[in-house]
Amino acid sequence: MTISISYMGTKKSLAPVVAEVVSASPPGPLLDVFSGLCAVAKSVAPARQTWTNDLQHFAQSVAQAHFCSQSHPPQRIDVVAKLNQHYSKHLSKQEKIAGNRIAAESKALADYDSVRLNDIYAEWIMYGPLDGGFEQTGDATLFRDTFAGAYFGLLQCIEIDALRHSLDIMLDEHQIDSDQHRWLILALAVALNRCASSTGHFAQPLTAKPANLPRFAQQRQRSVKDCFLSAIESLEPVGNTDWRSRNIAMRGEANSALSSFIGNSDGVPSVVYADPPYTSDQYSRYYHLYETIVLYDYPEAEGKGRYRTDREASDFCLSSRVSEAFDKLISNCVEIGADLVLSYPTNGLLANSRDVLPQKIKDKYGRDPQILEIDHRHSTMGGSKGPGKMNVTEIIYRAYP
């Protein structure tokens, strides 16, 4: 099952169509070079070896879990037995430190007092929880100190820290292996998605208002631990162990990933699937909490959204570089000797792409691409300052030597 979180530009509904187009290419590995949450890669697997690449650490973890894991996710009952001692100890300590603030937040939520809630959260976000009297404990407090009052309530942030800290202890004590540790962190990412007070992404937290208070309060009162344990039951790898042992999950800029295969005698993909970003919105802003829960690295954070300051950007999101980025993409696939299956909408950042992309492909491959046009609804998640869904014409180009 695909990790159940919202994802901007997901190709989940188009994945079967893309898989059918890919099936016309010669046998051999598929490299999904903008893999995201792996909807297309999963539609192709396990008929081919499935190799992936993405700029995000979180997306790489999703691919590693589904396509490379040698261990299945642990059973929920086993996780509960191993988790509780570590989790309860951390949670209890932090609840004592933050007791007054937890009580103030709980009362404001129970009273549906949006003015009081916003005053509380503005203070926490602006000045940081520790300035309000929290002690420096040396414990795992990343979410408590960075996100309390933004996308989650204070107690929820303490739960998140307690769970993440407990998973690391379980790994260190060899109660779980590295694959299982990755699976459980992804389950925690699903829990973040289910508990967040947001519009479906992490570009901006939701503000409490009289009109949304029932829903807002319900989200703030959800148990992160319960959602985490529930998410474990939905996770599973693709294919068998032997098939997964021959897959690759890369992380990096797409053209750098492709160029690493040029002259590689250890094997190259026979077909590359590319679904590059199509707007000026840098996707990393929408998923920075997933990066942080995977890395748990105490990054510098800025703004109301508490964004990581080290977010990476794609040339495909820059109008001054997108044309050159496509040139490199197509050239790299030609040099590798791979077919290219490319998805791109007619209203993407590359101007006049319906005419420009076929010409770029013909210039590099020496022949016109096969073209399939599909009416589609993009999930913008509000990223283009418009509706959450947008009707577009998606074009799938298939290029081959």
Closest CA relative to residue 387, chosen from 198, 186, 223, 199: 199
Taking CA atoms, 92 is separated from 89, 99, 101, 234, 380, in Å, by 5, 10, 15, 29, 40
b/e burial code for range 376-393 (CB count within 10 A of at least 16 → b): bebbbbbbeeeeeebebe
Q: Taking a C-beta distance cutoff of 8 angstroms, is the pair 179, 129 a contact? A: no
Q: What's the pLDDT at 270?
A: 97
Q: Which residue has the higher pLDDT, 133 or 183?
A: 183
What domains are there in the chain, each with its CATH number?
Answer: 15-69+248-277+314-399 (3.40.50.150), 76-232 (no CATH)
CA distance 399 to 344: 14
pLDDT at residue number 7: 59
Parallel, antiparallel, or unpaired: how do β-strands 50-54 and 249-251 relate?
A: parallel
pLDDT value at residue 128: 55
Would you give the end-to-end CA distance of the chain in angstroms?
34
pLDDT in tens, 351-401: 999 999 999 999 999 999 999 999 865 554 444 444 445 577 899 999 999
Q: What is the mean pLDDT of the chain?
A: 89
pLDDT tens sequence across 63-110 = 999 999 999 999 999 999 999 989 999 999 988 888 988 999 999 999
Question: What is the distance, to the nearest Å, from the Cα of residue 142 to the centroid of all Cα atoms in its chain?
Answer: 19
Token pair 């283009």: residue: 384
Whether 71 contacts 83, CB under 8 Å: no
Going by the DSSP 8-state scheme, the letter that residue 176 receives in this structure is: S
* Predicted structure pTM score: 0.90
Residues in the chain: 401
At 383 the pLDDT is 45
- Residues 278-309 pLDDT 10s: 987 666 677 889 999 999 999 888 877 788 88
**Across residues 259-284, what is the average pLDDT?**
87
Q: How far is CA 236 from CA 64, 69, 137, in A?
A: 12, 10, 37
